[in-house]
């Protein structure tokens, strides 16, 4: 009888300690292995490049290795869904681009997850504000003259993109809608042929990250008319923003952000966000980002969540007005 009471007492103590032990394993003992950062595109993308700039700093701050795992396919949905289905223990994260969070759900039919509800935002890492570029020979030097030229052009001016539904496509479509002009979309298979199409005169407009056209702008073969961000780019100090040119609603870019599976401990989310913010404050990192035409962000999880919700609603309207149907 005495042994049975001791055994029962031991079982009750063990049961009482289980929730606390489990919580400690999820939070206090984190990280207990390398953290996998899924990038849903092939190696060498902007997300890879920007994350590697801060990787050593956040590894030092958090005491963990961060391993980039490229999982490309289906406009980034394959890698994104893998993170959505992963165990929410803080050891699997997503480093996704704008479309993975706020536009794919409006453009791809039958998606098996909702990025707004199935992922927990951590922080936006970087933003590449879009730059409105045209051929050097085009008789437009700012958004006002470009809009006027597009309004009277016969046949209509054409804008290029790396493909239907890509950020450059939607950015140019946003300009077209704001300017109230008729333009023709010419989709290419990737950014390099879209840039070449602009140089060759097949198209007259391309709205993209500056990194995609840096060499051609510096060589004088293309000219930048506006930066569609909140401030001018250090690499283009003489090019005014859209807001400075009277088109404040033309705010667009291709940003990259970190998120985790829904259910991940909020304390871990904050720890990662704080580590990223600290890394992005490093002067060497900020200088390198500026050289790449990027803006370091590092906002809070709540701020990132609010921005995702706002942009998803805004892009849905742009997509619907453009008559784009989910594939």
How confident is the prediction for the chain on average, in pLDDT?
A: 90
pLDDT tens digits for range 30-62: 999 999 999 999 988 889 999 999 999 999 999
Check residue 325 and give its pLDDT: 82
Q: What's the distance, CA 137 to chain centroid?
A: 32
pLDDT tens digits for range 63-80: 999 999 999 999 899 999
CATH number for the domain whose boundaries are 33-128+254-322: 3.40.190.150
pLDDT tens digits for range 17-37: 444 333 334 445 899 999 999
Check residue 28 and give its pLDDT: 57
Check residue 320 and give its pLDDT: 95
For the record, the structure tokens of 131 come out as 């730059």
Q: What angle is formed at CA 231 by the lines to CA 229 and CA 234, rounded to 5 degrees?
A: 110
pLDDT tens digits for range 168-199: 999 999 999 999 999 999 999 988 999 999 99
The whole-model pTM stands at 0.85
Give the Cα separation of 17 and 46 in Å (integer): 46
Give the Cα separation of 224 and 119 in Å (integer): 36
Domain boundaries of the chain, sorted by first residue: 33-128+254-322, 129-245
178, 251 Cβ separation under 8 angstroms: no
pLDDT at 234 over 90: no
Check residue 235 and give its pLDDT: 87
Q: What is the DSSP letter of 205?
A: B
Q: Do domains 33-128+254-322 and 129-245 have the same CATH topology?
A: yes
Q: Tell me the H-state helices in the chain.
A: 2-23, 46-62, 77-84, 98-102, 104-107, 115-118, 143-152, 167-179, 191-200, 214-218, 266-280, 283-291, 301-322
Q: What is the DSSP letter of 89?
A: S
CATH number, domain 129-245, options 3.30.2130.10, 3.40.190.10, 1.10.240.10, 3.40.50.170: 3.40.190.10
Give the Cα separation of 32 and 18 in Å (integer): 19
pLDDT at 162 over 80: yes
pLDDT at 8 over 60: no
**What is the residue-wise DSSP string for 119-174?**
EEEEEEEEEEEEEEEEETTSS-SSHHHHHHHHHH-SSPPEEEESSTTSHHHHHHHH
């Amino acid at each position: 009888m005495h042994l049975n009471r001791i055994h029962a007492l031991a079982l009750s103590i063990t049961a009482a300690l289980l929730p606390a032990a489990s919580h400690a394993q999820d939070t206090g003992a984190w990280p207990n292995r390398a953290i996998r950062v899924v990038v849903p595109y092939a190696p060498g993308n902007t997300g890879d490049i920007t994350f590697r700039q801060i990787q050593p700093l956040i590894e030092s701050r958090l005491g963990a290795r961060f391993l980039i795992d490229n999982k490309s396919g289906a406009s980034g949905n394959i890698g994104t869904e893998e993170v959505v289905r992963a165990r929410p223990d803080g050891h699997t994260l997503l480093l996704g681009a704008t479309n993975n969070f706020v536009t794919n759900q409006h453009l791809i039919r039958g998606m098996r997850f909702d990025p707004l509800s199935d992922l927990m935002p951590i922080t936006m890492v970087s933003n590449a504000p879009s730059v409105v570029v045209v051929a050097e020979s085009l008789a437009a030097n700012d958004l006002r003259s470009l809009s006027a030229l597009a309004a009277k052009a016969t046949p209509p001016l054409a804008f290029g993109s790396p493909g239907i539904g890509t950020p450059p496509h939607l950015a140019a479509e946003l300009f077209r809608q704001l300017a109230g002009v008729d333009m023709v979309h010419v989709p290419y298979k990737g950014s390099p042929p879209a840039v070449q199409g602009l140089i060759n005169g097949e198209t007259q407009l391309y709205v993209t990250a500056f990194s995609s056209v840096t060499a051609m702008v510096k060589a004088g073969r293309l000219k930048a008319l506006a930066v569609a961000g909140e401030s001018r780019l250090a690499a283009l100090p003489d090019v005014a923003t859209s807001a400075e040119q009277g088109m404040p609603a033309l705010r667009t870019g291709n940003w990259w952000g970190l998120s985790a599976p829904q259910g991940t401990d909020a304390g871990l989310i904050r720890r990662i966000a704080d580590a990223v913010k600290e890394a992005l404050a490093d002067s060497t990192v900020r200088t390198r980002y500026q050289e790449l035409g990027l803006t370091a962000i590092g906002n809070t999880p709540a701020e990132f969540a609010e921005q995702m919700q706002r942009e998803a609603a805004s892009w849905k309207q742009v997509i619907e007005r453009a008559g784009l149907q989910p594939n």
